[in-house]
Chains A and B, each alone.
Chain A
Amino acid sequence: MQTVKMVISGAVNAGKTEFIRTISEIEVVSTERPATDDTRLIKKETTVAMDFGRIAIGDDLVLHLFGTPGQKRFDFMWEILSEGMLGLIILVDSTRPETFRETNRIIDFFMSYRETPYVVAANKQDRPNAWSPDELRLALRLPSHIKVLPCMATERESVKNVLLELLDVIMQRSED
């Protein structure tokens, strides 16, 4: 059985757990705990280790989805999770500009480690005051070749679209 891995990262409360829950075939394995630091101002519970979801591609192939913990003190987990990943989705809470700097830090981290195919998903586009993908591209100063996609992590079609766009990027780098 071959397994391939995609990583979903982003700042606290970007919607990583929800994203994986929406598409995973199994009950997502999360290690959520009551938030104990500044995070509790944003959400009551937060992911302290990782989320894990799974999609069976066939009898011999499985796609694993890993969500990284958002807090800075779990940086060391990012490196472990990124080992051997096929691609990376950076989720951004489009309604909270206070998380944009942290999002940039996360992108810098992953890109300094290896040249990984990635896309940015502008989550919570259904909320009032959501910054549009075009505005997020400027705010995060992303180059034009990086895809910034509208996303609602609670909607399956939206999550599928983000995954398919990432797979399109991966396809361009794959070999015959």
Chain B
Amino acid sequence: MPLVGNIRDFGLSDFLYLVDRGYKTGCLHLSHADEMVSLYFDKGKLITATRKEDNVPVTDLLVRKGKLTPAQATQAARAHQVQNGVSLSQVLMNLDLIERDELQRVLQQHIEEAVYALFGWNEGEFRFEQGQRPEPTAPIMPIPLAVEHLIMEGVRRIDEWGRIKDRIPNTDMVVKFIEQPIERTRGINLAADEWRVFARINGKDTLAEIARKTGMSEFDVCRIVYGFLTAGLVDVIRKPTPVPMLATGRPLAEAPRVKKSLVTRIINRIRGM
């Protein structure tokens, strides 16, 4: 069954996180007004993106960008027709019509721009079709893109509090690293301001305190942390408040302890219903 919803309610960056952490393979179709964009993923990484108004074979794209001649494009298309299960991008490299690095650079730039434009959408229907693959002629990148990288760049383009406040309700929240942030940072390039915030994360300081210590605005700190959060690098938690203690030494807020025998009785009763 496809996953359906609206990015107004479940943001694009949240969905990208789900695709990444779920190692999803399939296509995320997004539509808003007359626009329609399809993002294809393989095991959680982006391999291509197509727009309805610009859904052309990789060869046409490369001819348009001056990286291929029309004759080379025809040569590749003919060779591709007799090769089953191979992408047209792969055929171009096999025929030495374009260097792998150059193909990656051109396609990545093209695809990233399509994705970043999506972060400007305030709403749009989405539908994720599990297992759906792109056409073999689509502009498939030789090296799939890590989603964290896309999230961070997309979040840099957010200029409103509304979306950030969904995840960071106030600046009294404390930022802490998740268990293995180093592993997650490999696909991400941080800008200077992002490093300044990153270096201040200690699991104790609130967002307001980080803003004060870095001299940055609270909005900028929250926007940057929102990016870290969405990319799965950090978590934000409420600042722990001192818990009143009972005379027994047990914290007042702790759930009541029950005896195993009582729980066993309830289990047996429900099993028998």
Report if B273 contacts A (CB, 8 A): yes
B9 touches A97 (CB 8 A): yes
Q: Interface centre among A115, A130, A139, by most B CB within 10 Å?
A: A139
The proximity string for B residues 235-260 relative to A, scoring 1 for CB distances below 8 Å and 0 otherwise, is: 00010000000000000011111111
Report if B265 contacts A (CB, 8 A): yes
Residues of B within 8 A of A (CB): 1-6, 8-10, 14, 17-18, 21-22, 166, 238, 253-260, 262-267, 269-271, 273
B269 touches A98 (CB 8 A): no
**Contact residue among B21, B253, B256, B269 (Cβ-Cβ distance under 8 Å from A57):** B269
A97 touches B263 (CB 8 A): no
**Contact residue among A57, A100, A114 (Cβ-Cβ distance under 8 Å from B255):** A114
Report if A173 contacts B (CB, 8 A): yes
Which stretch of A12-20, A45-53, A146-154, A156-164 is in the interface? A156-164
A130 contact set on B, CB distance < 8 A: 1
A55 touches B269 (CB 8 A): yes
Q: Are A171 and B267 also in contact (CB < 8 A) when A128-B1, A138-B18, A160-B273 are?
A: yes
B271 contact set on A, CB distance < 8 A: 160, 164
A138 touches B269 (CB 8 A): no
Nearest CB of chain A from residue B145's CB, rounded to whole Å: 19
A82 to B54, CA, bound (A): 54
Q: Are A174 and B258 also in contact (CB < 8 A) when A55-B269, A114-B253 are?
A: yes
A167 touches B266 (CB 8 A): yes
Q: Are A86 and B253 also in contact (CB < 8 A) when A139-B10, A139-B18 are?
A: no
A97 to B11, CA, bound (A): 10
A128 to B259, CA, bound (A): 41
A101 touches B166 (CB 8 A): yes
B270 touches A163 (CB 8 A): yes
B267 contact set on A, CB distance < 8 A: 164, 167-168, 171
Report if A4 contacts B (CB, 8 A): yes
B1 touches A129 (CB 8 A): yes
Q: Are A129 and B3 also in contact (CB < 8 A) when A58-B269, A98-B9 are?
A: yes
